[in-house]
Structure 1
Amino acid sequence: MQTYKVSIRETSNNAIIKFEVNQFITNHQSFEFENIDDAKSSPLAQQLFYLPFVKKVYISGHFIAVERFNIVEWSDVQDEVAEQIEAYLNDGGIVITSSEPPGKKVPVTIYAESTPNPSVMKFVANKKIVNALFEFTSIDEAQHSPLATALFHFPFVKSVFIEENYVSVTKYDMADWQDITMELREFIKNFIADGKEVIKAQAVEAMQHSHAQSEQKFEALDDTSKAIVNILEEYVKPAVASDGGNIQFISYDASQKNVSVLLQGACSGCPSSTYTLKSGIENMLKQMMPGKVETVEAING
């Protein structure tokens, strides 16, 4: 069984703290409770209202936001609250008892956004749909993603890339985006609105195991490789994510001063990826790590 982990996130309102969970705790639904009587449908919220400083509880797909009265400061109690929520969830505590009425859809909007790769369209949701990134290049690979599996039943879908709040779809040349974009947008919107599972729990567990292995790999890297990874994470990943893709460090050859990276999603096979690598990523690494990096080469995912 997957272990729940809770992390603390500050908000723009210093009276409110978000306790983010490493997996979804409601079926893409959101609930707000003003007091313990109002929270009859949520044993978790009721548990929190027993704390004298809790003023309001908001529960969403992957976090619990708590507003406090001014009798305490969050810095004094937030760790204790996070531990309490984590223990409650790991003990099998119920988050919400009453579900949405049958047939009622979860409010969701999806818009289509073009990417630098003419074969890829990015479908962006107004809410978080997964907690990690997943790439599927065939229906066999997509067995842990009901959404990706369903998308592969469209004959023009070549690959599917899913990250926090969007789905990138790569098409075969047999179809034009002007003919299929609306169909895909409506399909993805209805799939999420119906409360269907985007990624199965087994895939999330496997991803977390993989993430733990990645952290171990990072610690085993030499100092130069670690510096390259940090630069890619901070400066490059956000830019390629906005285009519906992802980049991962593969290796660093000190003798050749060469960096190998993996391109995924919209970045994979993109005609402009070579230009981006040479004029963008390669130049950045050469400037930020003089004498250490000369070339960057990409492997398409």
Structure 2
Amino acid sequence: MPKIVEIEDTPNPNAMKFILHEPLTWGITHSYDNAEQAKDDVLASALFDIEHVSNVFYVDRWLTVTQDGGTDWPELKRLIAVPIRAAPAADAQSATTVAAASTVIAELSGEDQQRLEQINALLDEQIRPALQGDGGDLHVVDLAGNYLSIHYQGACGSCPSSIAGTLKSIENLLRTIEPDIEVVAV
């Protein structure tokens, strides 16, 4: 059963990051925008049963919960702690399972898949650590020609700065390897 080590504010005032002693997963992200999406996930379902919870995102040893802005954090944090503490810690997962969760878009040509691997390597090195530090992340949805579609997760999903400044920064960074790329948040 995971113990909460620390609770951190994020740049998004409606999101809190819970840092855990034991991992919930091994490299596999879980991101849900509503209870229907989370219906097969025991932990996320229990969190969505709490009034005002609007997004759940977790990976490894941390979890971010976003609320709808309709309540204060002190009471909500106490309610959120209960299902987190009741959740089982991650079982040892095989490298195959973790590798299967990596970003691969089946419809891409071999050349575009190589481009995507370069893009993801740059995102892994320079963007994702900062987003994860703030309780969020991003997932690459598609690469079509010079358009890269990304989806923000966790605290980044509803944070005003992620839609404007962060998106432009990502695009500018990726243009160092793909000069004509345009990045769109979906």
TM over 0.5: yes
* TM-score for the superposition, normalised by structure 1: 0.52
CA deviations on 1:174-203 (whole Å, 9 max, x unpaired) are 112244224423x24532xxxx43679xxx
The 3-state SS of whatever aligns with 1:252 is strand
Give the direction of change, closer, same or farther, for the CA distance of 1:252–1:216 in structure 2 (3 Å limit).
closer
Which of 30, 40, 45 is residue 144 of structure 1 equivalent to? Answer: 40
Give the direction of change, closer, same or farther, for the CA distance of 1:221–1:158 in structure 2 (3 Å limit).
farther
Identical pairs, percent: 27
Residue 63 of structure 1 is matched in structure 2 by none
Deviation of the 1:120 alpha carbon = 1.0
* TM-score for the superposition, normalised by structure 2: 0.79
Matches within 5 A, 1:171-186: 171-185=67-81
Specify the structure having the higher radius of gyration (Cα): 1
Deviation of the 1:296 alpha carbon = 1.7
The 3-state SS of whatever aligns with 1:144 is coil
Aligned amino acid, residue 275 of structure 1: G
The 3-state SS of whatever aligns with 2:160 is coil
Deviation of the 1:122 alpha carbon = 0.8
Deviation of the 1:145 alpha carbon = 2.3
Residue 125 of structure 2 is matched in structure 1 by 234
Give the direction of change, closer, same or farther, for the CA distance of 1:110–1:137 in structure 2 (3 Å limit).
same
Residue 115 of structure 1 is matched in structure 2 by 10
Residue 275 of structure 1 is matched in structure 2 by 165
Cα separation, 2, equivalents of 1:282 and 1:110: 35
Aligned residues: CA RMSD: 3.1
Give the direction of change, closer, same or farther, for the CA distance of 1:148–1:225 in structure 2 (3 Å limit).
closer
Q: Does 1:247 align with 2:138?
A: yes
Residue 157 of structure 1 is matched in structure 2 by 53
Unaligned ranges ≥5, structure 1: 1-27, 29-105
Cα separation, 1, equivalents of 2:73 and 2:59: 21
CA contact (8 A) 1:110 1:189 kept: no
Residue 197 of structure 1 is matched in structure 2 by 88
Residue 127 of structure 1 is matched in structure 2 by 22
CA contact (8 A) 1:147 1:198 kept: no
How many residue pairs align between the two structures?
A: 181
CA contact (8 A) 1:244 1:266 kept: yes
Unaligned ranges ≥5, structure 2: none
Cα separation, 1, equivalents of 2:20 and 2:65: 14
Deviation of the 1:111 alpha carbon = 1.7
Deviation of the 1:153 alpha carbon = 1.6
Aligned amino acid, residue 265 of structure 1: G
CA contact (8 A) 1:145 1:198 kept: no
Range moving further from structure 2, 115-124 or 226-235: 226-235
Aligned amino acid, residue 125 of structure 1: L
Residue 177 of structure 2 is matched in structure 1 by 289
Deviation of the 1:160 alpha carbon = 1.0
Give the direction of change, closer, same or farther, for the CA distance of 1:141–1:271 in structure 2 (3 Å limit).
same
